[in-house]
């Protein structure tokens, strides 16, 4: 070695560590959507004097509570890069069983409804996690089987005559607030805690980000995957119970397209279909943006037939907004 | 007489001088290696010679005449072809079509003369001294074969100088020898080759001379016979020998990990080994010799068909990575991006993942406690990040690897398995990782290290186990391997 060595590098700068500062991207992610939502509220308030009245706001929340409840479970599923198409059928299945077994009393029927959801979710989860069936196919199959079962059981006929206790459960008010809104608020809070402050929530994010790396870090991937479909099924079952109470009917046609409404709320809320990134609060905003828009269209007297078209526009806008941010 | 000469080349970008007063020459007919860490200026230089960018000051002399390349075509026209890391091939077309892409030979009627195209493609490939079916579609070829198609494409242009930008970054060792065969054939035909790499071992296999860049400056150009791997590392990093390999402070204790007659399908059989507390055991061998498979099986990532694993003297049953983690084993995998990291998650979540239980009270993660523990690890390992919330995909390779290591330090594991711990990271980060490994050993942890870099094995391991075709071919101490280096290398290669 005859070349002369340059002096060693100067000491590296100490790592720049700011205490618990969220990255700029994350701020945009959360508050970008929030800003859009605030703007929408402002526009709605400007266009319709009725909009900001408490009765109307509660009505909007009541309308999104069923889709929103389902979308909470869907958020966990989609964060693992999965999908659950069976949730609408779970709603149908639960309404017909709840309607025909209501003589057992409210609490047993609630437990039954949740068990039906859990059962479907468990089958989905086992098929996907242990049977390595793709989530799309597995839950598509369960979607048809669930609704088929609802038709078979109800023989295609609606079941009327829901008892007052159920109506109160799904459609009643507590302290002036619709029960379904209260349920949704509690479930929203629990979901936020589950995703952000428990090990299971972290594992859900980890699996969605990189399943193999999660497995090699000791995460029990199969168990967590079964868990997310279980959660999705149970929440869909609960949504079915609310539906029964709100509409006073058990029918195999209930909940059609709810899976897509839920997916729409999740996607508008900024959760990535590729997994590993998403937020429960975003899903709430997603559901709320759709709900407020529909409400506004009603209030200013626009034909409700345009609602679907507008929902499509919102999804597209949300996706473009997400892309711009990342 | 140099065929290509750089005189006082300077290139500035906003805020950084990429190349500063760089001068050196490339002799006609030689294989000239260009090495340097990330950010040393290699890519800038390659882009300049490929005609993608122009120097701010200085002259490029080609065959003793100053030249200016305004666009890539100018460089190709005078006979300089560059094979970039990302290949520019049409995957659905055959190798032959790709070689003549855009310059198909025509018949008199103006249609493509297919027989002639394939005939000439075969001639070009034959010049490279390898067998390659030019009728096969590129998507069916291995990465090495695709690179060779790119090279063949360059030969059609009658290139006098061939520039290869980090070709080995995407190749296994077997494929590398295929590439080297081609390069040697070209060299015999008088082609000059500029070979860019940060894998140092291979420089010694292929290059005649080597130029080292550091921080945009020319550190030296040497004949390969006058220099060693360690010498090159010193030139690249600007560190002295003592700073390169960590001082050994570790003391070897009791047996911590023991494997008896481990067997798995066709991958390996009859593997028995021991790793003691404070010991670094090197697992050497060619790619495909079963090294990685043994590591993965011990860690529970792949199922085992027979044999026994003992941890701290107790026989354990490891059927999943979860079991291994509970036994105190951590794996720093071969490919950190696909196996080691949650790329689109923050640094904090990556590091705490393997032992979240530490931070859980009453079922909930104590986020403050987690952040404190992670911050301590980030400081200790000197991970350079903008913050704990930075997504790991934006960290450099070396910092990513340190994040994987931090994950296992957080899980307080006693047994570390490193699979190619320094692959694809620059020399400065390598040196830091070696220091960390030594520190782990000094703390009494047991380390099993797989590596394809012989200098790394010799520099770090106390004992070396050589695997060949799925079985252990030999075991030797570092001293024995250093003294009989040729025999050691023959054991690995043979």
pLDDT of residue A324: 58
> For A198, which residue in chain B has the nearest alpha carbon?
B364
The whole-chain average pLDDT of chain B stands at 89
Q: d(Cα B223, Cα A4) in Å, to the nearest integer?
A: 16
Q: d(Cα A324, Cα A318) in Å, to the nearest integer?
A: 10
Nearest to A277 by CA among A322, A218, A228: A322
Band (A266; pLDDT cuts 50, 70, 90): very high
Contact B422, B167 (CB under 8 A): no
More confident residue, B311 or B140: B311
pLDDT of residue B309: 96
pTM: 0.77
How far is the alpha carbon of B401 from chain A, nearest alpha carbon, in Å?
A: 13
Q: d(Cα A258, Cα A74) in Å, to the nearest integer?
A: 11
pLDDT of residue B221: 93
The whole-chain average pLDDT of chain A stands at 89
pLDDT at A132 over 70: yes
pLDDT tens, position by position, B105-132: 888 888 988 999 999 888 888 888 788 8
Report DSSP letters for A102-139, one per residue.
GGG-HHHHHHHHHHHHHHHHHHHHHHHHTS---HHHHH
pLDDT average, residue stretch A63-80: 97
Check A15 against B391: CB less than 8 A apart: no
Nearest to B234 by CA among A241, A294, A2: A2
pLDDT average, residue stretch B146-152: 85
The owner of tokens 């709605």 is A44
Contacts of A175 (CB under 8 A, 6+ apart): none
A42-46, A198-202, A266-270, A307-311: least confident range: A307-311
Q: Which of B242, B323, B332, B353 has the highest number of chain A CBs within 10 A, making it the mutation to test binding with A?
A: B353
> For B356, which residue in chain A has the nearest alpha carbon?
A199
pLDDT average, residue stretch B406-410: 94
Percent of chain B with pLDDT over 90: 52
Band (B173; pLDDT cuts 50, 70, 90): low
pLDDT of residue A25: 52
pLDDT at A29 over 70: no
Percent of chain B with pLDDT over 70: 98
pLDDT average, residue stretch B44-54: 91
pLDDT tens, position by position, A93-114: 999 999 999 999 999 999 999 9
pLDDT at A51 over 90: yes
pLDDT average, residue stretch B316-323: 95
pLDDT at A270 over 50: yes
Q: Which of A200, A213, A221, A274 has the highest number of chain B CBs within 10 A, making it the mutation to test binding with B?
A: A213
pLDDT average, residue stretch B17-28: 92
pLDDT of residue B428: 79
More confident residue, B396 or B322: B322
Nearest to B312 by CA among B281, B276, B279: B276
Q: Does the CB of A302 have a partner CB in chain B at under 8 Å?
A: no
pLDDT of residue B228: 85
Report DSSP letters for A267-319, one per residue.
HHTT--TTSS---HHHHHHHHHHHHHHHHHHHHTT--GGGHHHHHHHHHHHHH
pLDDT average, residue stretch B370-390: 93
3-state secondary structure of B182: helix
For B240, counting Cβ atoms within 10 Å of its Cβ (0-12 exposed, 13-18 middle, 19+ buried), the class is: exposed
Check A3 against B364: CB less than 8 A apart: no
pLDDT of residue A9: 35
Q: What is the ipTM of this complex?
A: 0.85
Measured between beta carbons, the chain B residues lying within 8 angstroms of A18 are: 386-387
pLDDT at A7 over 60: no
Q: Where are the beta strands (DSSP E) in B334-391?
A: 360-361, 364-365
Q: d(Cα B437, Cα B454) in Å, to the nearest integer?
A: 17
pLDDT at A13 over 50: no
> What Rg do the C-alpha atoms of chain A give, in angstroms?
23
pLDDT of residue B255: 95
Alpha helices per DSSP H over B238-346 = 241-244, 291-298, 321-326
pLDDT at B197 over 90: no
Q: Does the CB of A38 have a partner CB in chain B at under 8 Å?
A: no
pLDDT at A21 over 50: no
Band (A135; pLDDT cuts 50, 70, 90): very high
Q: Does the CB of A202 have a partner CB in chain B at under 8 Å?
A: yes
pLDDT of residue B408: 95
Q: Does the CB of B227 have a partner CB in chain A at under 8 Å?
A: yes
3-state secondary structure of B422: coil
Band (A3; pLDDT cuts 50, 70, 90): very low
Q: Hey, which residues does A290 pair with through a beta bridge? A: none
pLDDT of residue B431: 86
Q: Does the CB of A322 have a partner CB in chain B at under 8 Å?
A: no
């Amino acid at each position: 070695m005859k070349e002369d060595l340059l002096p060693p590098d100067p000491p590296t700068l100490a790592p720049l560590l700011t205490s618990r500062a969220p990255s700029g991207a994350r701020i945009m992610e959360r508050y970008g959507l929030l800003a859009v939502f605030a703007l929408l509220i402002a526009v709605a308030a400007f266009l319709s004097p009725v909009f900001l009245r408490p009765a109307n706001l509660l009505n909007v929340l009541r309308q999104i509570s069923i889709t929103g409840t389902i979308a909470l479970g869907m958020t966990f599923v989609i964060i693992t890069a999965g999908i659950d198409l069976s949730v609408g059928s779970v709603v149908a299945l639960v309404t017909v069983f709840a309607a025909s077994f209501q003589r057992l009393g409210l609490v047993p029927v609630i437990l039954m409804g949740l068990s039906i959801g859990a059962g479907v979710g468990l089958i989905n989860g086992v098929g996907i996690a242990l049977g390595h069936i793709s989530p799309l196919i597995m839950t598509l199959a369960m979607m048809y089987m669930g609704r088929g079962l609802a038709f078979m059981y109800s023989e295609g006929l609606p079941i009327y005559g829901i008892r007052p206790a159920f109506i109160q459960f799904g459609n009643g008010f507590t302290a002036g607030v619709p029960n379904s809104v209260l349920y949704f608020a509690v479930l929203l809070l629990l979901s936020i805690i589950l995703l952000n402050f428990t090990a299971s929530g972290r594992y859900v994010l980890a699996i969605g980000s990189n399943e193999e790396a999660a497995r090699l870090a000791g995460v029990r991937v199969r168990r967590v995957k079964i868990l997310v479909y279980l959660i999705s099924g149970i929440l869909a079952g609960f949504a079915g119970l609310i539906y029964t109470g709100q509409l006073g009917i058990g029918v195999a046609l209930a909940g059609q397209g709810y899976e897509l409404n839920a997916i729409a709320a999740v996607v508008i809320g900024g959760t990535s279909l590729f997994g590993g990134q998403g937020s429960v609060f975003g899903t709430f905003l997603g559901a709320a943006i759709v709900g407020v828009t529909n409400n506004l269209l009603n209030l200013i007297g626009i034909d409700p037939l345009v609602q679907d078209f507008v929902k499509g526009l919102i999804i597209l806008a949300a996706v473009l907004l997400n892309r711009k941010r990342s | 007489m140099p065929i290509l000469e750089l005189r006082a080349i300077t290139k500035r970008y906003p805020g950084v001088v990429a190349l500063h007063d760089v001068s050196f020459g490339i002799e006609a007919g030689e294989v000239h290696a260009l090495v340097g860490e990330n950010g040393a200026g290699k890519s800038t230089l390659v882009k300049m010679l490929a005609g993608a960018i122009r120097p701010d000051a200085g002259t490029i002399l080609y065959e003793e005449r100053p030249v200016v390349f305004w666009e890539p075509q100018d460089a190709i026209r005078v006979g300089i072809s560059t094979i970039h890391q990302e290949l520019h091939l049409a995957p659905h077309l055959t190798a032959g079509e790709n070689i003549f892409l855009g310059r198909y030979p025509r018949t008199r009627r103006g249609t493509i003369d297919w027989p002639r195209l394939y005939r000439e493609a075969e001639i070009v490939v034959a010049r490279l001294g390898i067998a390659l079916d030019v009728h096969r579609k590129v998507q069916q070829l291995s990465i090495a074969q695709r690179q060779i198609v790119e090279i063949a494409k360059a030969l059609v242009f009658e290139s006098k100088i061939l520039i290869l930008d980090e070709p080995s970054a995407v190749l296994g060792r077997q494929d590398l020898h295929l590439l080297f065969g081609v390069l040697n054939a070209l060299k015999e035909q008088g082609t000059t080759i500029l070979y860019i790499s940060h894998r140092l071992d291979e420089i010694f296999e292929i290059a005649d001379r080597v130029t080292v860049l550091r921080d945009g400056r020319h550190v030296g150009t040497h004949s390969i016979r006058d220099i060693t791997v360690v010498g090159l590392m010193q030139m690249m990093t600007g560190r002295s020998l003592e700073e390169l390999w960590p001082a050994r402070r570790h003391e070897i204790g009791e047996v911590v990990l023991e494997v008896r007659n481990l067997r798995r399908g066709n991958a390996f059989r009859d593997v028995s080994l021991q790793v003691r507390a404070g010991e670094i055991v090197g697992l050497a061998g060619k790619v495909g010799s079963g090294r990685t498979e043994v590591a993965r099986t011990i860690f529970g990532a792949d199922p085992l068909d027979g044999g026994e694993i003992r941890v701290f003297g107790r026989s354990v049953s490891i059927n999943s990575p979860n079991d291994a983690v509970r036994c105190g084993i951590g794996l720093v995998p071969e490919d950190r991006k696909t196996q080691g990291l949650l790329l689109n998650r923050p640094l904090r979540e990556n590091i705490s993942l393997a032992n979240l239980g530490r931070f859980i009270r009453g079922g909930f993660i104590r986020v403050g406690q987690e952040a404190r523990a992670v911050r301590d690890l980030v400081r200790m390992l000197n991970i350079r990040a903008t913050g704990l919330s930075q997504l790991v995909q934006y960290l450099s390779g070396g910092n990513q690897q340190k994040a994987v290591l931090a994950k296992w330090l957080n899980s307080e594991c006693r047994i570390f398995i490193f699979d190619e711990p320094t692959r694809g990271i620059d020399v400065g980060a390598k040196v830091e990782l070696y220091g960390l490994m030594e520190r782990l050993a000094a703390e009494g942890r047991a380390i099993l290290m797989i590596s394809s870099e012989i200098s790394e094995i010799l520099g770090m391991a106390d004992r070396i186990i050589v695997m060949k075709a799925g079985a252990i071919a030999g075991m030797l101490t570092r001293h024995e391997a250093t003294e009989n280096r040729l025999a050691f290398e023959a054991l690995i290669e043979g």
